């Protein structure tokens, strides 16, 4: 064997042994990732436009009369909607709603594979819900719109424990539900996304079912939720907790 052949053989063995002894790649990089900032900015911009349009429609003269038919439909819907709304109605009252929400968040936390993902989930949830509640309450005071229960006589509250207080536009329940689901969307698996999205839709329908809101209130609340969820995405991409946990 020539000297050049020996040298090539030794170098090849060294490279092979080095590749075998190199550390394994970080598998956590294959886990759920935050959305791209461009998507968050686009969604936030569209949501802002939707909030402005819904507020304008809510304050137009005759808006309550134009929406009365839909309110009456949701308050006394045909089958099978009546059966579905009646079945989920007890779960969407204040205390059961909190329990169901905590159960869904707990399910998402348990399926997160990394500690940084659990921290991202909790931060995104808190940021989105707080922003949604604050924005909804500010717009409620600016719009000063009465609820359907105060305008349309004979609406059925379907056993809701107390009269909804405060102004109608927008729906804070819908805003917080949509904000929470969207904020957690990047860290949810597909079964969780289906359950979360369905849960948010049922909450929005329930607010119409008990006569607490006009349809435009629910649309405005959903737009607020999308905006606040997109803000939580931007925070996750700008200040990722994963980077801090590995530093």
CA dist 117 and 173 (Å) reads 26
- How far is the CA of 137 from the CAs of 51, 147, 167, in angstroms? 14, 15, 9
Of the candidates 188, 40, 200, the one whose C-alpha atom is nearest the C-alpha of residue 112 is 188
The CA distance from 74 to 165, in Å, is 20
DSSP-derived letter for residue 161 is S
Query: Which residue carries 């379907």 as its tokens?
Result: 158
**Segments making up each domain of the chain, as ranges:** 34-246
pLDDT score of 243? 54
Predicted local confidence at residue 15, as pLDDT:
41
Give, for all 247 residues of the chain, the pLDDT tens digit.
554 544 454 444 444 444 434 343 343 444 456 667 888 999 999 999 999 999 999 999 999 999 999 999 999 999 999 999 999 999 999 899 999 999 999 999 999 988 988 999 999 999 999 999 999 999 999 999 999 999 999 999 998 876 677 789 999 999 999 999 999 999 999 999 999 999 999 999 999 999 999 999 999 999 999 999 999 999 998 888 875 544 4
CA separation, residue 146 to residues 30, 60, 84, 174, 192 (Å): 49, 13, 27, 17, 35
Residue 176 and residue 132 in contact, taking contact as beta carbons nearer than 8 Å:
yes
pTM value? 0.84
Looking at CATH, the fold of the domain delimited by 34-246 is given as: Vanadium-containing Chloroperoxidase; domain 1 (1.20.144)
């Amino acid at each position: 064997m020539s000297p050049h052949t020996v040298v090539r053989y030794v170098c090849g063995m060294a490279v092979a042994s080095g590749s075998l002894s190199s550390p394994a790649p970080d598998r956590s990089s294959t886990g759920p990732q935050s959305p791209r900032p461009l998507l968050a900015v686009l969604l936030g911009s569209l949501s802002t436009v939707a909030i402005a349009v819904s507020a304008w429609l809510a304050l137009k003269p005759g808006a309550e009369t134009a929406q009365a038919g839909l309110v009456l439909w949701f308050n006394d819907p045909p089958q099978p909607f009546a059966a579905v709304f009646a079945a989920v109605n007890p779960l969407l009252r204040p205390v059961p709603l909190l329990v169901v929400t905590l159960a869904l968040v707990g399910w998402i936390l348990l399926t997160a594979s990394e500690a940084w993902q659990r921290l991202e989930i909790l931060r995104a949830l808190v940021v989105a819900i707080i922003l949604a509640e604050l924005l909804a309450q500010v717009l409620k005071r600016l719009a000063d719109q009465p609820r359907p229960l105060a305008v349309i006589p004979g609406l059925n509250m379907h056993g809701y424990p107390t009269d909804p207080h405060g102004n109608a536009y927008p729906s804070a329940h819908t805003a917080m539900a949509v904000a929470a689901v969207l904020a957690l969307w990047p860290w949810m698996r597909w079964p969780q996304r289906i359950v979360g999205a369905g849960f948010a839709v049922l909450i929005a329908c329930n607010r119409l079912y008990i006569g607490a809101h006009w349809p435009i209130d629910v649309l405005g609340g959903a737009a607020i939720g999308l905006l606040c969820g997109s803000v939580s995405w931007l925070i996750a991409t700008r200040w990722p907790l994963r980077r801090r946990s590995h530093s």
